[in-house]
Amino acid sequence: MLTWAVLGSGSSGNSYLFSDGTTSILIDQGYSVAELKRRLAHFQASVDQVQAVFVTHLHPDHARGVGTLARMHRVPVWIHAKTLEVQPQEVAALNIPHPLVQGVEPFQTITVGPFSLFCYETSHDCEGSVGWVIAHGGRTFMVLTDAGVTDEVQRRLASGAEVLFLEANYDVQMLKSGPYPPFLKARIASTAGHLSNDDALTFLAESGFCGRHVYFIHISDTNNSVPLLEAAARRVSPVPFTVCAKGTYHGVVGS
Ligand SMILES: [Zn+2]
Ligand SMILES: [Zn+2]
């Protein structure tokens, strides 16, 4: 029996839970520990069961809470080795007790109880950005967020996943005509920015994803519209999906 959950996604905080009731792991931790506890409780999970956090990248919405979680609950924090190498000051600023900082190379398998995970590189404006593949008892989950473009490796990984957590950050037209300053619009739409709705739906089609469910994540509340994405996904998604609007949480308990 497994529980998986989008504890939150978007520019104000991101965290994903995977738990078998005894062992829990998180992908990213962009919340205070109090807020994390509140969100975990919604899925009948406890912070005491969290045995590791796996970080996609150091932007605050993904990493601002890893230090306090590590200090208060002695939770190891796995980060791409390249990030540790090229962003030592930013890593130090997270204030993770030194022995709990763990470096990992892409496709290096990390085992935490019955879970095994590996990361793959993503194209984002934070060096060492990665996504994660999570396996438990023959079941596979994939988190792909904060990526300006996708690649063949990611499509191959998605084709074998049961559940996919896929960024759909913005609608191209809404970003273009929206209130953001030009430099920010350019950053978001760049190959080191974020995936648009079109990018996400194209990825879904090209990967041949035929798993059980897609969660669209990291939705902008300025440059995207949930009904718009839902309508577009309904036309092309081969499987059931959930659009995880900012501030909401979604998941399945014990399946
Ligand atoms: Zn982000
Ligand atoms: Zn980011």
C-beta neighbour count of 105 within 10 angstroms: 11
Q: Which CATH architecture has domain 3-252?
A: 4-Layer Sandwich (3.60)
Does residue 76 sit in helix, strand or coil? Answer: coil
pLDDT confidence of residue 97: 97
* Domain coordinates in residue numbering, the chain: 3-252
Residue-wise pLDDT tens digits, 89-126:
999 999 999 999 999 999 999 999 999 999 999 999 99
Ligand 1 mean position to 138 CA, how many Å? 29
Binning pLDDT at 50, 70 and 90, where does residue 76 land? very high
Ligand 2 mean position to 160 CA, how many Å? 25
In angstroms, the CA 141 to CA 149 distance is 20
Q: Average pLDDT over the chain, rounded to whole?
A: 97
Q: What angle separates helix 197-207 from helix 152-159, to the nearest 10 degrees?
A: 60
In angstroms, the CA 209 to CA 241 distance is 12
Percent of the chain scored above 90 by pLDDT? 97
> Side chain identity at 69, as an amino acid letter?
L
pLDDT confidence of residue 238: 86
The secondary structure of 7-33 as a DSSP string is EE-STT--EEEEE-SS-EEEE---S-H
pLDDT over threshold 90, residue 207: yes
The secondary structure of 98-134 as a DSSP string is GGGEEEE-TT--EEETTEEEEEEE---SSTT-EEEEE
Ligand 1 mean position to 113 CA, how many Å? 28
Ligand 2 mean position to 59 CA, how many Å? 5
pLDDT confidence of residue 247: 84
Which residues line ion ligand 1, judged by CB < 5 Å? 61, 146
Strands 241-243 vs 213-217: parallel, antiparallel or unpaired? parallel
DSSP-based helix, strand, coil % in the chain, nearest 5: 35, 25, 40
pLDDT confidence of residue 88: 97
Does residue 184 sit in helix, strand or coil? Answer: helix
Ligand 2 mean position to 33 CA, how many Å? 20
Mean pLDDT, residues 9-13 = 93
Ligand located closest to 9 CA: 1
CA-CA-CA-CA torsion sign (56, 58, 64, 68): positive
C-beta neighbour count of 127 within 10 angstroms: 15
What Cα–Cα distance (Å) separates residue 34 from each residue in 29, 38, 55, 166? 12, 6, 19, 26
Percent of the chain scored above 70 by pLDDT? 100
Ligand 1 mean position to 160 CA, how many Å? 25
pLDDT confidence of residue 255: 85
Ligand located closest to 125 CA: 2
pLDDT confidence of residue 127: 97
